[in-house]
Structure 1
Amino acid sequence: MNTYLIIAYLIISLWSAINIVFYGSRPTKMVSWILAVFTLPFAGAVLYYLFGVNRRKFKLFKLRQTEKRKHYSETYKELKNGEYSIHEFDNSVENKIANLIRKNSYFAPYEGNKITLLNNGEDTFTSIFDAIEGAKESIHIQYYILEQGELLDTLYELFKKKRKDGVEIRMIYDSFGSSHMRGKAVKRFRDLGIKASSTMPIRFGNLLFTLNYRNHRKIVVIDGKIGFTGGYNVSDKYIKPISDLGVWQDLHLRIEGPAVNSLQRVFVKDFHFATKEELMVEDACFPKIDKKGEHVAQIISSGPDSKYPSIMQQYLAMINAAEKSISIANPYFIPGAPVLEALRIAALSGIEVNLLTPKKSDSLLAKYSMFSRFEELLQVGVNIYLRPDFSHSKVIIIDDKMASVGSGNFDYRSFEHNFETNALVYDKAISKNISDLFHGRCTKEIQLEYVAFKNRPILTKFIEGLAKFFSPLL
């Protein structure tokens, strides 16, 4: 029996190692997975196939309709409805970033938008519910987490009313983040005539394609004309303290204007992926949108089916474009070597780099992995602040003239494994508003000091090192 196990172990390990060599994306990550495969009998191979496979190169992932998703993106110019004003930048820096996003996400920077900043749970959901109340034709809603509670019940009652008015409602949610949305929980929505479906449902037959690849987006589109995106999920933790972390803080945007067309496209593509229903060719989903304001906005989407890691490229491009300041707020700041090096270069070049993260976290592993990067950043002059409450915001502000708000974290998962959406606003007033909120939190009392942090206990450093080893899984 032992001989058979050894033979099986060798065959599985060798086959896994061959796949790592052929499909691996980074040498250091490849070495780590090969070590895991051979030092953790069977378990290492299972972990690799669940969490380590590079789906962009691994041919099996192409069988999951990702080719059609790519086709939807690449044929955007033929599918647009209406004449929208694509903004032409005078500034070469902004122009370079906008061009990058147009090529890696297929979304243009549109002018004529009205952007409203929503910085607490009460304002965010009041605005979303008011927009739903005013819907005439369609409501499209997509969240990573739909959680039982007061907010979801309010959403249900609004949907019941709007269905009676004949409004078409489509709802998609992540099967892992919204794990309870099964059976009766989702049936009550479907009984209203709502087209509700999970994205990438976790089943034994498709486990390799779903467990490590989550749809982390948060999108609401009303009548194809009003859109919302940012960091908020539908969970009562954003409006009342239901855990030791208290009321979660976050940031969201209400968008009115041509950029909503881009959000709608993201939703439609994901809805087709979840339900096989064709919406991309329906003009009703893409009405002509009039100018609503003076803000220039551009949507960025990224996922394991993308040609490029668009969210990571966006963040890197913004960091490299900075001339005076970089301000980052993120609850899971666990970037890889390229982003860390870009921040070090910026700080050493004399650019003010500020990082605001929560002192507490909903994941100890993420917290220790995040803290393992701090010493090297503090050493080069990065200002790090640990806010006492839990902030779920994903924000980067450059020179107080452009700001990104969305669902993309600074970690491997958002860069490589999750479907994410950010909104980049090229506007000094909006950026200054977000910057003021950011710096209002950055007080001396919560700032980390390099010497004190460097002298933290040896045991703490060891735990951080272990957590860092597992950071590609986070």
Structure 2
Amino acid sequence: MRLFIRYGKSLIRYLVIVLLLMVQIICIFGLAYFLRHYAIYVYLAIEILSLLILVPLVADERNAAYKLYWMSVILTLPIVGHIMFHLWGKDKVNKSEHARIQRTVNRANIQQDFQKPFVVEMHRDNPEKWKISNYLYRQGYPLYNHTKMKYFPLGEFAFEDMIAEMKKASRYIFMSFFTIADGQIFDAIRDIVQEKVREGIEVRVLYDDAGSVFQIADATVEKLKAVGVRILRFNPVERSYHRLFLNYRTHQKIVVIDGETGYTGGINASDRYANINSPYGHWKDCAVKLYGSAVWSMLLTFLSMWSASENVEEDYQKYKSKREFTDGGYCQPFADGPSNNPENEGLDIFRHMIQEANREVFITTPYLIIDDTMRDTLCLAAKSGIDVRIITPGIPDKKRAKLLTEWHYGPLLKSGVRIFEYEPGFMHAKIIMNEFSAVVGTINMDFRSFFLHYENAVWTPQKELVDELRADFMETLKSCREMNYVDWVRRPLKIKFQQYILQVFRCQF
């Protein structure tokens, strides 16, 4: 009863969605049962239909793992699989919604400050850096100068700084999180934004509907709205369950204050990210703070997703800071999402970082569920003598995701990639760095981040920050256990069987 009182609306929405999905599945299987009386004709029709589906699917631009997944469904479940593919598997099923969101993103990115001299300077000073920077520039995310950056090696440090900056806000506070949850962290944020609204400051909160379900009470949301906080759910799941558009979530974490200060990283507005009540041991997360010109790019990313959610065009220039920034170095915020497929900035940047490395590649990620191309890229780097090290969680938050992560250890370890598990708890930081630059943001090394979720991150060549990240990585290694290829080969048969089955479905993780 307490659950219903606290999360009543969310509970009802999800119960209705589950019920409707069950009705769909029952109808699909019911149709298959009815057609059994016409076996010969149905068999012939299935053969023809399978040919018509599988041939275009093989030629599809999507990742090979998605093709394998749908081929398995179609061949394993005749009739039922065909209907499921028609309803949920075709790339065109969600095309109109993706196109609408991408138009909003494009309108926002037109407002970016495209200053080519910065890229030219990068080309002159360091060609390896230039390749990555120029790629992002050509994708609509220019290089910014005069931006100070600060690294927080734990979520609690980031929140302490963030809350202090919120108290100083004079124009607006904009926030986007995958998860917001009742607790000490969000209570502190809520108290500040309520006071700021009373002062006449604009406050917006965008959160993912699926990521926050049963985390934030209905009453909390209503109270915020009542005092004037503008708050939106991204992609309400009840709106598009029938097309499984509910798969496409905003995993972005962005806080922008007055257009001058911005934060991003792995942290959500929830106590576990500050180690207040983590159920998975010590929660190792991180964030970066930006102060300067590049915050404008982060603001545009936030406003584009807000505009897509509200379906109202924004006056972007209204929120741009008039301050002239003169201190700080280069950095390049960027965003990625399924509306831009088959272009995948997040995936491409990770591959660039690995391929351009001359000495080292260090990665922290909560999940290591990658496609064959990323696996081969990592293996080739290690075989070429690059010091490739990856830290994953010692205590997982999802057992199936952990099984799939461990499935990928084998070929990587065999090729010379060194893999470590963070023994004190859950590694949630999302970082990739080489000897000359780093990416910090929301991007996991899994299919959801690379292909299904809206993500954001910051690429930077600032030496001081890269050195800080490297030092924290090396310090974290002291609390890790290194994986061994022989132990991986000798893992229990039960585990191997589960992994063989799960890897067919890896594109859903």
Taking structure 2 as the reference length, the TM-score comes to: 0.85
Kindly indicate whether the alpha-carbon contact (under 8 Å) linking 1:70 and 1:306 is maintained by their aligned counterparts in 2: no
1:3 & 1:48 partners in 2: Cα distance? Answer: 20
- Superposition deviation, residue 69 in structure 1: 1.9
1:125 and 2:162 are equivalent in the alignment: no
Following the alignment from structure 2 to structure 1, what is the Cα–Cα distance between the partners of residues 430 and 284? 11
CA distance in structure 1 between the aligned counterparts of 2:479 and 2:95, rounded to whole angstroms:
51
Q: Which has the higher helix share?
A: 2
SS of corresponding position for 1:179: coil
Rounded to whole Å, the distance in 1 between the matches of 2:250 and 2:368 is 19
Residue among 176, 194, 209 paired with 1:142: 176
- Match of 2:487, SS state, is helix
1:393-412 mapped onto 2 (5 Å cutoff): 393-399=429-435, 401-412=436-447
Q: For the Cα contact (< 8 Å) 2:65–2:506, is it kept in 1?
A: no
Q: Which 4+ runs in 1 deviate beyond 6 A?
A: 5-13
CA displacement, residues 402-422 of structure 1 (integer Å, 9 cap, x when unaligned): 111100011111111100001
Structure 1 CA distance, aligned partners of 2:202 and 2:188? 18
- Aligned: 1:30 with 2:30: no
Correspondences of 1:11-410 after superposition (within 5 Å): 20=57, 23=60, 25-27=62-64, 29-40=66-77, 44=81, 48=85, 52-54=89-91, 60-62=95-97, 65-73=100-108, 75-77=110-112, 80=113, 86=118, 88-89=121-122, 90-104=125-139, 106-180=140-214, 181=216, 183-205=218-240, 207-208=242-243, 210-240=245-275, 242-279=277-314, 281-291=315-325, 293-307=327-341, 308-388=343-423, 389-399=425-435, 401-410=436-445
Deviation at 1:463, TM superposition (A): 2.0
Map 1:412-451 to 2 at 5 A: 412-443=447-478, 446-451=481-486
Change (3 A) 1:434 1:17: same
Amino acid in structure 2 at the alignment position of 1:424: W
Residue 460 of structure 1, aligned match among 489, 495, 499: 495
Secondary structure at the aligned position of 2:339 is classed as coil
Is the 1:217–1:421 contact (alpha carbons within 8 Å) kept by the matching residues of 2? yes
1: CA distance, partners of 2:63 / 2:190: 45
Distance 2:66 2:98 in 1: 25
**What amino acid does structure 1 have at the position aligned with 2:176?**
Q
Cα distance 1:95–1:189, how it changes in 2: closer, same or farther (>3 A)?
same
**Which 5+ residue runs of structure 2 have no aligned equivalent?**
1-30
Deviation at 1:384, TM superposition (A): 0.8
Amino acid at match of 2:403: Y
Aligned residues: 466
Residue 237 of structure 2 aligns to a residue whose secondary structure is coil
Q: Which moved more, 1:4-13 or 1:269-278?
A: 4-13
Residues 239, 247 of structure 1: 8 Å contact kept: no
Mind listing any 5+ residue stretches in structure 1 that lack a counterpart? none
Counting aligned pairs with the same residue, the percent is: 25
Q: 1:310 to 1:50 in 2, by over 3 A?
A: farther
Deviation at 1:426, TM superposition (A): 0.7
Contact 2:366–2:429, Cα closer than 8 Å, also in 1: yes
Q: CA deviation at 1:58?
A: 5.2
- Cα gap change, 1:333 to 1:31, in 2 (>3 Å): closer
Residues 170 and 196 in structure 1, CA contact (< 8 A), matched pair in contact too:
yes
**Residues in 2 aligned to 1:46 and 1:261: alpha-carbon distance in whole angstroms:** 45
